[in-house]
């Protein structure tokens, strides 16, 4: 390691150590790759160690530390790393432990600190519930589970997953449609009709989906305005006021204002009219519009549209030339008069748009409030909460002054230290929870007696990219100021910046800094635009590279009149497919040539490559296809919609056919699926020229396939959804003699496993919450659009990963490829920003949502909000660029494609290209063997900014064995159905070996419950009493039997005591209860021969082992006992035979004897070997 590298790491470590100081509250601004997770872990470790110069009691108890993370994966990773460190400390040699503690705390540890560090692992393991490292949703759920009554919830409430929540919201939406149809004159029906007038079915569905996704925010808005559940009158009134209207305003009322002119204004307009009549042709056309309006006062409102033509263009803008010079000669003030009237009409036009907008929003709120009201009632009636409820209910609980102290005290007697990870992704309501938890910290600052209490927050405003989940960089900055104001008077160093990157090389960081060097690009990325963005590399001397490829365009084809038969699959020649092929060929070239990753000192692997896209779409499919064509291992996309997965669609086709065999299209699809697998020619033979249905043709032409399908028709009527699909996957199918899953794997590859497993999970979950009907499940599933996330954070396989930038948050890779930098996703969505929600920042006024179907309804207030929302999108687009660029460790490739329309000037590609170093290297760039050119056919090169390796390569783990394991095909046994287990399938209990116990007593005998309780008492006493001296036994026995919990009458106690003492005092039984014997001995082993062996699990009442013999004794309390061994129950004989079989295996070479000790007598009855041989398992 070079001297410059050591200096950089030392500087970075110093900042990290300051941030991890457990004695101070800290707000850490951590740029990408600066080691914030290490800081969090170090701080937790230091909190649990004794304070300097103090005893172990000064350390913070683990249960008093709360660490809130953004994802469960992050929480699990942090917990694992802490447990791993503590486990290592527990067994580490003294010198190494001393060195680690010195590095952690910055000072030499005392003997007390070392002892405490070694004991920490056991202390944390003994902490109830373990370390509190969790997501804020998990924390809120745990609080509500502990305080349901205080939160106004039923103690047994259940949490709905998002799929169920959407399902029930959709059900509520459907109920609204039914209600509107049943009562067409209701307010709800009229409101719904108003929306339908302005929206096609697709747009209506999209709008309802947006409402559903914001259901909790809408419920809070309605509640804040005082609306009862399912109503929206107050909120609607607020919409009118927000738009500058009175709730009674209508279009007619606004238009009546058009006619209201002062005498002066009317006189001026008449003079203007006269001048226009004497003007040019254009003037006279304007005059015609004005004259008709001015002459008919009573019809002015109706003639408003005609009158506007004199002042406005067809686009609705004030005409630049309201009067010609000819007209001005007749009336010099005509332009001023016309301009004032145009502005008046402009205001009226805006008020008209406002009224129309208000009326539409009133209709929307009426429908939406009814839908949310139904949903809320459903949750209340079924005792369910959704994820948003967790935060809101916890907020409400902690907002009560008299409640928060009690709740915090009951949470393991309080929380002393709160750590917040990824604070930039925290929503306003989540901040309220954190504020409520930490408010007490700063009342007298940080004290509860002598207890130190701190708040630690780490985040990066530059990486706030989850606005759709409520994250707001403005709220992040506001909370930074809020908490800073709490601590600034009592400590220094509240804010710490981490700018030393341990992740990326110098080349990558220089490009990142250059991109955001422009103030216009920084706007919205950082709060203080005047402050630049800089990163200092800790990986000094390591090789790095950034390439920016020229934009790839579609290949121009020569025009041809000839029409080719569609018999060949030709490679796509559009820009996106050409780019996908180029990326795949480049990756393949690295792997095939063994190109070195210089900083690691090894060849590039497929797992080094991370491809990040702005959104999932056609390009992702093209990239996956191109990589597979190049035989490059690829992990697939990070998220999938199950209903769009081909394997899932094939399984659904099997169910849909089984439910409706005459569905020709579904059957044709099924015949082509991997389950049956016929080719195109055979399908054509079955379908072409048939007289009836495809099913009839299959029965006639392919009876073998029909036989297979008949079985599924039969199963559809009786099997549950899970049983149906699990059997389809786990049993042989027509195309594969092993299993349906193997048939899918053989055709579609290993990517199908995640989808199939999640599909089965969905079917099982459906059965737990619905009537298990196959028909209803298929309908529910198809309508649900279930999306699953493939966990790639813990990526181990040597495969190329493809995911969105959002999904890659927190990840990194040696090589990052950005293939779609020439597009702006939100440019396509600008027309979709029609529903605008108010901010939820604490202290903000209770706002209202506003929706406009088209621009013609966009009143000025709405337009301003819309433009602000679009500007917010632009800012998040640039923050997303920052996240994308900083995922790269060593290499970064900026790629893009261009269709006919030129990309926006501020797209990622141009932002990076404009900031690229002027001295960057250039190289010819070819796609499909042709150079890339611009519109003028000029050849475009790629640009490269790179540094060579100067320092020794970093150490890296050799994963060749892992790669070979990944690439090796799975064995057949993986797909085979497990053979049936021996009966019984669970371990055999000797006392339940297959026969019922004898009913010895008659009808007047003691009841069964008493008999078993009596037997249990006898066994317990015979286990414990032999350990006492002979003289103390009887006294202890009588005291035990007199315990109230045994509920024994005095005469029963006396009788039982006499029976037990007779057993223990019998001279023939002395060896059984002697010092060499053991009581209640558990035994697990194989009973029987190799072919019929069964696992036995039991507990022997008494075991005596000598050098030559083993004696197994079992107590029996039956009254009266059998007089002869031949009268012993077969169940008892099987039990003892099973014990004997196991003990023979455990003690080979010794004789194993068995006996029954009947306590009623007492009688010891040896069981002959010959008799037991008959009943061996």
pLDDT digits 0-9 by tens, 1100-1146: 999 999 989 999 999 988 878 898 999 999 989 999 999 999 999 88
The sign of the dihedral angle between the CA atoms of 284, 285, 287, 292 is positive
Q: Are residues 1120 and 1057 in the same domain?
A: yes
C-alpha to C-alpha distance for 70 and 425, rounded to whole angstroms: 7
* Res 469: pLDDT: 83
Q: Are residues 49 and 151 in the same domain?
A: yes
DSSP state of 259: G
Q: Are residues 496 and 522 in the same domain?
A: no
Residue 493 domain flag: yes
Work out the average pLDDT over 478-495. Answer: 83
* Res 958: pLDDT: 46
Q: Which of 867, 907, 213 is closest to 614 using CA atoms? A: 907
Q: What is the DSSP string of 76-103?
A: HHHHHHHHHHHHHHHH--HHHHHHHHHH
Residue 533, classed as helix, strand or coil, is coil
Q: Which of 878, 32, 31 is closest to 523 using CA atoms? A: 878
Instruction: Label residues 299-322 b or e (16+ Cβ within 10 Å = b).
Output: ebbebbeebbbbbbeeeeeebeeb
Confidence category of residue 171, pLDDT binned at 50, 70, 90: confident
CB within 8 Å of 670: residues ≥ 6 apart: 650, 653, 654, 657, 676, 709
**Residue 842 reports pLDDT greater than 60:** yes
Q: Which of 857, 784, 869, 833 is closest to 195 using CA atoms? A: 857
Q: Are residues 1161 and 1013 in the same domain?
A: yes
The sign of the dihedral angle between the CA atoms of 65, 69, 75, 78 is negative
Q: What is the domain-level CATH number for residue 115? A: 3.40.50.300
Residue 267 domain flag: yes
Q: Are residues 646 and 658 in the same domain?
A: yes
* Res 67: pLDDT: 95
Residue 536 domain flag: yes
Q: Are residues 834 and 923 in the same domain?
A: yes
**Residue 622 reports pLDDT greater than 60:** yes
Q: Are residues 498 and 526 in the same domain?
A: no
Would you state the structure tokens that stand for residue 238, as one six-digit string? 């607020």
* Number of domains making up the chain: 5
CA 524 to chain centre: 27
| Average pLDDT value for the chain | 86
Q: Which of 327, 326, 295, 292 is closest to 309 using CA atoms? A: 292
Percent residues over pLDDT 90 in the chain: 44
Confidence category of residue 532, pLDDT binned at 50, 70, 90: confident
* Res 959: pLDDT: 43
* Res 462: pLDDT: 93
Of the candidates 502, 524, 540, which is a domain's last residue?
A: 502
- pLDDT tens sequence across 275-332: 999 889 888 888 988 988 888 888 888 888 888 888 998 888 898 889 989 889 889 9
Alpha helices in 155-232 (DSSP H): 162-182, 187-198, 201-213, 215-224
CB within 8 Å of 560: residues ≥ 6 apart: none
DSSP state of 918: T
**CA distance to 391, 439, 724, 1117, per residue, from 432 (Å):** 9, 10, 47, 65
Q: Are residues 609 and 667 in the same domain?
A: no
Work out the average pLDDT over 703-726. Answer: 94
Domain residues for 67? 3-155+388-502
**Residue 966 reports pLDDT greater than 80:** no
Q: Are residues 934 and 1023 in the same domain?
A: no
Would you state the structure tokens that stand for residue 398, as one six-digit string? 């902690």
Residue 765, classed as helix, strand or coil, is helix
Would you state the structure tokens that stand for residue 613, as one six-digit string? 């896209």
**CA distance to 25, 424, 439, 460, 926, per residue, from 480 (Å):** 12, 10, 14, 11, 50
Please list the residues that pair with 851 across neighbouring strands: 835
Q: What is the domain-level CATH number for residue 710? A: 1.10.486.10
Q: Are residues 959 and 999 in the same domain?
A: no
Please list the residues that pair with 1157 across neighbouring strands: 1115, 1164
Confidence category of residue 100, pLDDT binned at 50, 70, 90: very high
**Residue 986 reports pLDDT greater than 80:** no
- pLDDT tens sequence across 657-690: 999 999 999 999 999 999 999 999 999 999 998 8
Q: What is the domain-level CATH number for residue 1019? A: 3.90.320.10
Please say whether the beta carbons of 293 and 300 come within 8 A: yes
* Res 446: pLDDT: 45
Instruction: Give, for 366, the enclosing helix (H) or strand (E).
Output: helix 334-382
- pLDDT tens sequence across 409-439: 777 667 889 999 999 999 888 999 998 888 8
Please say whether the beta carbons of 21 and 490 come within 8 A: no
Instruction: Give, for 667, the enclosing helix (H) or strand (E).
Output: helix 664-672
Confidence category of residue 256, pLDDT binned at 50, 70, 90: confident
**CA distance to 355, 468, 614, 808, 931, per residue, from 876 (Å):** 33, 11, 12, 16, 35
Residue 984 domain flag: no
Confidence category of residue 604, pLDDT binned at 50, 70, 90: very high
Of the candidates 382, 404, 422, which is a domain's last residue?
A: 382
Residue 776 domain flag: yes
Burial category of 263 from C-beta neighbours within 10 Å (exposed 0-12, middle 13-18, buried 19 and up): exposed
C-alpha to C-alpha distance for 1166 and 1047, rounded to whole angstroms: 34
* Res 1001: pLDDT: 42
Residue 471 domain flag: yes
Residue 563 domain flag: no
* Res 998: pLDDT: 47
**Residue 983 reports pLDDT greater than 60:** no
**From its phi and psi, is residue 891 left (phi > 0), alpha (psi between -120 and 50) or beta?**
beta
Of the candidates 352, 382, 412, which is a domain's last residue?
A: 382
- pLDDT tens sequence across 33-69: 998 999 999 999 999 999 887 888 888 899 899 999 9
* Res 916: pLDDT: 94
C-alpha to C-alpha distance for 355 and 703, rounded to whole angstroms: 68
Q: Are residues 467 and 548 in the same domain?
A: no
Q: What share of the chain is helix, strand, coil (3-state, %, to 5)?
A: 55, 15, 35
Please say whether the beta carbons of 220 and 392 come within 8 A: yes
Residue 913, classed as helix, strand or coil, is helix
The overall longest dimension of the chain from CA atoms, in Å, is 142
**Residue 831 reports pLDDT greater than 70:** no
Q: Are residues 1100 and 1036 in the same domain?
A: yes
Residue 688 domain flag: no
Compare 363 and 1013 and report the one with higher pLDDT: 363
DSSP state of 228: P
Would you state the structure tokens that stand for residue 145, as one six-digit string? 């589970």
CB atoms within 10 A of CB 120: 22
Instruction: Give, for 1167, the enclosing helix (H) or strand (E).
Output: strand 1163-1167
Compare 93 and 169 and report the one with higher pLDDT: 93
């Amino acid at each position: 390691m070079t001297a410059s590298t050591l200096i950089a790491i030392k500087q970075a470590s110093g900042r990290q150590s300051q941030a991890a100081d457990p004695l101070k509250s800290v707000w850490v601004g951590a740029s990408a790759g600066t080691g914030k997770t290490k800081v969090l872990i170090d701080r937790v470790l230091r909190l649990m160690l004794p304070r300097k110069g103090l005893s172990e009691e000064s350390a913070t108890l683990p249960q008093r530390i709360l660490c809130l993370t953004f994802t469960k994966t992050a929480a699990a990773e942090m917990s694992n790393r802490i447990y791993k460190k503590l486990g290592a400390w527990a067994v580490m040699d003294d010198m190494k432990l001393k060195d680690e503690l010195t590095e952690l705390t910055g000072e030499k540890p005392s003997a007390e600190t070392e002892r405490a560090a070694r004991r920490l692992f056991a202390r944390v393991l003994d902490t109830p519930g373990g370390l509190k490292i969790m997501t804020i949703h998990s924390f809120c759920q745990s609080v509500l589970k502990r305080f349901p009554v205080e939160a106004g919830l039923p103690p047994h409430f259940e949490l709905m997953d998002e799929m169920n929540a959407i399902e029930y919201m959709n059900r509520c939406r459907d109920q609204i449609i039914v209600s509107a149809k049943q009562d067409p004159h209701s307010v709800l029906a009229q409101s719904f009709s108003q929306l339908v007038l302005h929206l096609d079915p697709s747009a209506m569905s999209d709008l309802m989906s947006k409402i559903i996704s914001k259901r909790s925010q809408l419920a809070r808005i309605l509640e804040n305005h005082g609306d009862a559940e399912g109503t929206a009158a107050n909120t609607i009134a607020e919409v009118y006021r927000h738009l500058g209207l009175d709730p009674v305003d209508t279009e007619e009322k606004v238009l009546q204002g058009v006619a209201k002119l002062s005498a002066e204004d009317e006189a001026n307009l008449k003079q203007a009219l006269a001048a226009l009549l004497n003007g040019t042709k254009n003037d006279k056309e304007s005059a015609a519009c004005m004259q008709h309006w001015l002459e008919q006062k009573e019809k002015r409102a109706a003639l408003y549209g005609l009158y506007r033509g004199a002042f406005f263009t067809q686009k609705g803008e004030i005409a630049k030339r309201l009067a010609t010079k000819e007209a001005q000669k007749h009336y010099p003030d005509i332009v001023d008069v016309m301009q004032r009237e145009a502005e008046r009409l402009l205001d009226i036009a805006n008020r008209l748009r406002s009224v129309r907008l208000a009326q539409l929003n009133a209709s929307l709120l009426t429908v939406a409030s009814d839908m949310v009201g139904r949903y809320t009632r459903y949750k209340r009636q079924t005792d369910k909460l959704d994820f948003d409820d967790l935060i809101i209910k916890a907020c409400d609980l902690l907002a009560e002054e008299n409640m928060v102290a009690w709740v915090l005290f009951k949470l393991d007697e309080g929380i002393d230290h709160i750590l917040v990870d990824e604070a930039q992704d925290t929503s306003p309501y989540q901040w309220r929870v954190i504020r409520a938890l930490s408010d007490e910290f700063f009342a007298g600052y940080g004290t509860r007696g002598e207890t130190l209490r701190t708040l630690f927050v780490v985040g990066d405003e530059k990486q706030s990219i989850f606005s759709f989940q409520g994250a707001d960089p403005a709220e992040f900055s506001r909370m930074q100021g809020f908490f800073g104001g709490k601590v600034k008077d009592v400590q220094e160093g509240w804010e710490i910046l981490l700018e030393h990157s341990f992740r990326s090389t110098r080349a990558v960081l220089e490009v990142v800094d250059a991109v955001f060097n422009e103030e216009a690009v920084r706007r919205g990325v950082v709060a203080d635009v005047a402050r630049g963005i800089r990163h200092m590399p800790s990986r000094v001397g390591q090789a790095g590279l950034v390439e920016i490829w020229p934009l790839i365009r579609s290949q121009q084809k020569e025009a041809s009149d000839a029409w080719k038969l569609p018999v060949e699959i030709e490679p796509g020649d559009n820009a996106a497919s050409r780019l996908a092929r180029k990326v795949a060929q480049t990756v393949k070239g690295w792997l095939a040539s063994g190109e070195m990753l210089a900083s690691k000192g090894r060849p590039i692997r497929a797992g080094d490559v991370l491809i990040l896209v702005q959104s999932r779409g056609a390009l992702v499919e093209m990239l996956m296809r191109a990589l597979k064509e190049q035989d490059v291992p690829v992990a697939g996309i990070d998220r999938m919609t199950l209903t769009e997965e081909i394997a899932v669609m094939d399984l659904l086709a099997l169910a849909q056919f089984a439910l409706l065999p005459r569905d020709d299209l579904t059957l044709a699809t099924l015949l082509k699926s991997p389950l049956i697998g016929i080719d195109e020619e055979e399908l054509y033979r079955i379908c072409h020229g048939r007289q009836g249905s495809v099913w009839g043709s299959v029965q006639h032409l392919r009876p073998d396939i029909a036989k297979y399908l008949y079985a599924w028709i039969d199963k559809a009527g009786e099997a549950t959804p899970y049983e149906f699909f699990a059997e389809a996957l786990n049993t042989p199918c027509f195309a594969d003699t092993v299993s349906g899953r193997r048939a899918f794997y053989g055709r579609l590859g290993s990517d199908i496993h995640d989808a199939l497993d999640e599909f089965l999970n969905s079917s099982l979950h459906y059965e737990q919450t619905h009537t298990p009907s196959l028909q209803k499940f298929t309908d529910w599933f198809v309508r649900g659009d279930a999306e699953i996330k493939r966990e790639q954070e813990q990526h181990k396989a040597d495969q190329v990963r493809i995911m969105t930038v959002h999904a890659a948050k927190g990840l990194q890779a040696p090589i990052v490829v950005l293939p779609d930098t020439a597009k702006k996703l939100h440019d396509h969505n600008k027309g979709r920003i029609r529903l605008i929600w108010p901010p939820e920042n604490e202290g903000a006024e209770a706002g209202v949502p506003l929706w406009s179907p088209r621009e013609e309804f966009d009143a000025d207030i709405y337009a301003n909000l819309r433009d602000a929302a679009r500007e917010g999108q632009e800012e998040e687009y640039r923050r997303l660029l920052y996240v994308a660029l900083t995922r790269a460790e060593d290499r970064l490739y900026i790629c893009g494609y261009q269709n006919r329309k030129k990309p926006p000037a501020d797209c990622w590609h141009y932002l990076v290209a404009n900031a690229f170093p002027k001295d960057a290297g250039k190289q010819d760039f070819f796609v499909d063997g042709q150079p890339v050119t611009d519109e003028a056919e000029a050849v475009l090169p790629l640009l490269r900014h790179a540094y060579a390796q100067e320092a020794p390569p970093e150490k890296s783990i050799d994963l060749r064995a892992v790669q070979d394991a990944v690439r090796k095909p799975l064995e057949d046994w993986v797909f085979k159905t497990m053979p049936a287990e021996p009966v019984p399938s669970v371990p055999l209990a000797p006392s339940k070996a297959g026969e019922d116990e004898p009913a010895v007593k008659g009808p007047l005998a003691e009841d069964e419950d008493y008999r078993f309780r009596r037997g249990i008492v006898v066994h317990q006493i015979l286990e414990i009493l032999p350990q006492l001296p002979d003289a103390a036994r009887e006294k202890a026995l009588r005291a035990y039997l007199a315990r109230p919990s045994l509920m024994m009458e005095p005469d029963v106690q006396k009788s039982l005591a006499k029976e037990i003492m007779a057993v223990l005092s019998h001279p023939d039984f002395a060896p059984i209860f002697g010092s060499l014997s053991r009581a209640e001995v558990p035994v697990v082993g194989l009973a029987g021969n190799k072919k019929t062996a069964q696992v036995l699990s039991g507990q022997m009442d008494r075991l005596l082992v000598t050098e030559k013999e083993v004696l197994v004794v079992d107590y029996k309390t039956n009254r009266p006992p059998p007089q002869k061994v031949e009268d012993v129950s077969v169940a008892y004989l099987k039990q003892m035979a099973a014990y004997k079989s196991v003990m023979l295996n455990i003690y080979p070479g010794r004789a194993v004897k068995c006996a029954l000790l009947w306590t009623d007598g007492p009688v010891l009855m040896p069981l002959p070997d010959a008799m037991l041989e008959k009943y061996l398992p």
